Structure 1
């Protein structure tokens, strides 16, 4: 695998562990950093396909880097790793088009699968996160879902299963054009941006509620 990756974490042991593990699996680790500012500079300079970032780092957080990448139209896909289980962070991750979100205690077990999903433009979020969101006392996700019709909810569920518009059209016996029209309506109702991956990321982040 020649997927180019930058890794950043202010915990040296985790940084070394992830770097060694991914290198042994054939991934191309082009740079590493122990703070957010250095990590963002590496992303700008090296333009890796993927950046694996700790959420909480000195100078710039992983979320701030994701926001900068989105704002500056950088094509690097961001995967966040964290100990945090805070719904507000997941909301920001969705807003900034984060492709992957992994809890640190499962980082080694899940990172390879996560990267393989992300390389194929398929978002990946730890199962533990879905379980947490499903028991969260906050209702923002449910309020968003209440905006959608039954047909739109069915399509969002299929999107959360990483199915394409063509797949959905065949499964529901409708045209691809109709699916795309539904997708546009859903994006508008949820207040997402028009990037092709935004709805897919939102659906994966909220699959526990679908």
Structure 2
């Protein structure tokens, strides 16, 4: 059973999410009301996925993402928030979030996103994708101003990257391209190196920014 930690400053929201996810057979192993409390719960429970709100008093979602990255915590983070402005979306993804959903999603959409991230994929709400792409392409490179130039990708690497951009996990990519999961993992690692990206989401952001991927 997939396990999650829910980080949200509103008790009623946390309880509601817990109740819904338990119906969907997803195990909520911990809750926290801000980033500092979340770090302790995450260290204690080691969930498969972290559900993270962004706007919280004291230690907010971006602070939490920064701390997780600094501590090299390799647990996928799914942002679940009511806020969809470009600055927050891009900031969360650049800081390490692997998914971004609004709180008006259905239970089916939420559970699909959780399973997608748990399996190594990424997922961003379609309603904010167009604005996100425009913001990425008009702004600085997601890899930073001193990032090395991207290296050319092979046709197979482009195929893998397109599927990564659509939220496919390594296993799902292997099924589509008739490749072993280990082979897909090697392709993804090479893609990250060639794009100078720290993770899958950052690789997709930089590929979009550089015009390597079509919308």
* Superposition TM-score, scaled by structure 1 size: 0.73
Deviates most, 93-102 or 199-208: 199-208
Residue 84 of structure 2 corresponds to 85
2-structure distance, mates of 1:22, 1:95: 27
User: Any unmatched runs of 5+ in structure 1?
Assistant: none
Q: For residues 139 and 149 of structure 1, do their structure 2 counterparts lie closer, same or farther at Cα, with a shift above 3 Å needed?
A: farther
Superposed CA offset, 1:47-67 (max 9, x none): 222111111112211221122
Give me the whole-angstrom Cα distance separating, in 2, the residues matched to 1:43 and 1:205: 29
Deviation track 1:25-68 (CA, whole Å, cap 9, x = no partner) reads 11111111222222222112222221111111122112211221
The alignment's C-alpha RMSD in Å is 3.7
* C-alpha distance in structure 1 between counterparts of 2:47 and 2:203, whole Å: 23
- TM-score for both structures, normalised by structure 2: 0.72
Name the CA shift for 1:133/1:119 in 2 (closer, same or farther; >3 Å).
same
Give the helix-richer structure, 1 or 2. Answer: 1
Consecutive unaligned residues of structure 2, counting only runs of 5 or more, are: 144-148
Question: Number of aligned pairs?
Answer: 198
Q: Write the mapping of 1:105-116 to structure 2, written as runs, cut at 5 A.
A: 105-106=104-105, 108-116=107-115
8 Å CA contact 1:77–1:118 kept in 2: the answer is yes
Partner of 1:157: 162
Aligned to 1:199: 200
Structure 1 residues 144-193: Cα deviation after superposition (integer angstroms, max 9, x where no partner): 9x96768679444343133758679879xxx98x95696256422xxx22
Q: Which residue of 2 aligns with 1:20?
A: 19
The residue that corresponds to 2:191 in the other structure is 183
State the match for 2:100 in structure 1. Answer: 101
How many Å apart are 1:137 and its aligned residue? 9.2
Give yes or no for the alignment of 1:49 onto 2:48: yes
Is the contact between residue 121 and residue 164 of structure 2 (CA under 8 Å) also seen in structure 1?
Answer: no
